[in-house]
Homo-oligomer: A and B are copies of this chain.
Amino acid sequence: MNTYKDKYSKDVSSFFRSPVRDIFKKVDLNAIYSFAGGYPSAETFPMEDIRNTMSLVIDKYGGKAFQYGATQGVTELREAVAKRCGVPVERVQITSSSQQGIDVCTRVLVDPGDVILTSSPSYLGALQSFKSYRADVRGVSHCKDLDAFRQAYESEIAKVQAEGKKIKFLYMIPDFQNPSGESLTLEERQMLVALAQKYDFLIVEDSPYRELRYEGDHIPSLYSLDPDRVIYLGSFSKIFAPGFRLGWAIAHPDLLDKIYVCKQSLDLCPPVFDQYVAAEFLESGKLDENLLKTIALYKGKRDLLLSLLEEYMPEGVSWTHPEGGLFLFLTMPEGFDAVAFYDKSLSAGVAYVAGEFFHPDRSGKNTMRMNFSFMTPEKITEGVKLLAELLKDEIL
C-alpha cells in the first residue's frame, strides 16, 4: 500500500532519512565493530550514583517529580545550568535533547527558502532538520588561512544576497566538530561573529562536546563573543547520559520566548523526573566527578585510535587530530566512494558513516567519520586492523 507513504503527507521533498539512524535500526552495534554512532561508552554511566540519586529525587520532590512541569524546564535544573554556564537563569530553556534544540531553533526562525549557513561538512542530524523545514542550506568549507576562510563566507553571502534570499542563521559546532573533530580558533570565531554582526544574522552554536577536551586550552564560545546574537545549545548526552534526552538552550530572553511558545505545542515540557535527576547530579558535583573519568577514558581511546591509524592505514589515507570530542574524520584518495564501500565494510563487520552525508552538497565522497568513544580498546584495535585491510584491497 505504497499510496499511504506519500498520498496524504506534505511535500515529500522535505523528508530526508538519516542513514545513521537507519544503520541502528538494522544492526546491533554491539555485535559489530562500530565506528558509526556518536554513542558514549556505557562505562561512563554512573549507574549506582544514578540509582541513589533517583531514590533521593523521589524522597525530595515526591509527586512533583512525576507531574507535568514548566515548559521552560524545572527551576532547579535551569538554575544549575545557569550557574554552570555563568548566565542569568532567564536565558536558560531546558530542551528534550539538544537535537530538539536544533529543531526548535529552525522551526521558530526559518521559513521555506530561507538560507542557513553552515560548515561543510556539518552535523547530519542538523542538516536533516534544516531540510525538513525546506531551508536552503549553504555549506562553506574550512580554510586554514583566515582571510581565505572569511572570503569563502563573504562570497557565499554575496551569492545569497544576489538571489534576494534571507540568511536566518549560521549553524556552527566550534568545538570538536561533528563530523571532523576539529575546532575553530579564537580568530575564526571572532571573524564569524563579526560577519553575523555585519550582515545581521543570528548564530546557532551547537556545543555538545565542549567539555570533552583532552588537550589544549578552552577557547571562548561564540555565545561569549555576542550573547544577544548567538543561541547556544548544550547537551547532557555526552557528559551524563543520552538516555535522559536532556539539553539546554541559552539565548536572549526574547528569542527564548519564541522557543518557549513553540515548545508548548511541541511536547508541553521536558521529561520532569529526568530533569530533577540531572539537577541533583549537577548540584552534588557528581556530574563533574564523572566527567573527569570520562575525559580520561576518551583521551585514551583517541590516542589509541590515532596510533592505530598511524600503524595500519595504507598510503594515501589521512585523518584529523581532534583535541576532544568523539570523532575524527578520515580522507581516502580521490575517487574512493565511502558509500559504495560501506556494504563491503559492514558485511565484514565494520560500520562507519560515509562523509558525503555530512556535506550539504553531497561532496566529500572519499571521506568517512570514525567514532572512538563507543567501543572498548580491544574492539577499536580489531576494528581498525580490519578496516585497514579492507581499505588496502580497495585503494592499492
Binding site for B on A (CB under 8 A): 1-2, 4-5, 8-11, 15-18, 21, 24-25, 37, 39-40, 42-43, 45, 47, 50-51, 54-55, 58, 62-72, 96-97, 99-100, 103, 107-111, 114, 125, 128-129, 131-132, 168-169, 201-202, 228, 237, 241-245, 252, 254-255, 257-258, 261-262, 264-274
A262 to B37, CA, bound (A): 19
- A267 and B103 within 8 A (CB): yes
Decide: B265 and A10 in contact? CB cutoff 8 A. no
Please tell me if the beta carbons of A96 and B272 are within 8 angstroms of each other in the complex. Answer: no
Contacts of A245 in B (CB 8 A): 96, 267-272
Given A245-B96, A254-B1, A264-B18; A66-B50 close (CB under 8 Å): yes
Let me know if B268 and A243 touch, CB within 8 A. Answer: no
Oligomeric state, in copies = 2
Main secondary structure of the interface of A (DSSP, over half): helix
Residues of B within 8 A of A43 (CB): 63
Residues of B within 8 A of A257 (CB): 5
- Chosen A-B contacts, 13 in total, with CB atoms closer than 8 Å, are A1-B252, A4-B252, A5-B258, A39-B68, A42-B64, A42-B66, A50-B58, A50-B66, A66-B241, A245-B269, A245-B271, A271-B274, A273-B274
Q: Would you call B103 and A266 a contact (CB within 8 A)?
A: yes
In the complex, residue of chain B having the shortest beta-carbon distance to the beta carbon of A247 = B267
Partner of A228, one of B1, B103, B114, B255: B1
Among B4, B67, B99, point to the contact of A40 (Cβ < 8 A): B67
B4 with A254: CB separation less than 8 A: yes
* Cross-chain contact B97 with A66 (CB below 8 angstroms): no
Known A63-B47, A245-B272, A261-B15: A10·B267 in contact at CB below 8 Å: no
CA distance A107 to B21 in the complex (A): 20
Asked if A244 and B66 sit within 8 Å, CB to CB, the answer is yes
**Residues A243 and B67 in contact, CB atoms below 8 Å apart:** yes
Q: Are A242 and B67 in contact (CB under 8 A)?
A: yes
Residues of B within 8 A of A244 (CB): 66, 271-273
- Residue from the list B17, B51, B268 in contact with A97, Cβ < 8 A: B268
CA distance A18 to B265 in the complex (A): 8
| A128 engages B258 (CB within 8 Å) | no
Which of B62, B64, B129 lies in contact with A265, CB distance below 8 A? B129
Cα A164 to Cα B54 in complex, Å, equals 55
CB distance from A282 to the nearest CB of B (A): 16
Q: Which 6 A-B pairs have the closest CB atoms?
A: A42-B63, A243-B272, A4-B254, A66-B241, A66-B243, A128-B265
Residues of B within 8 A of A271 (CB): 96, 243-245, 271, 274
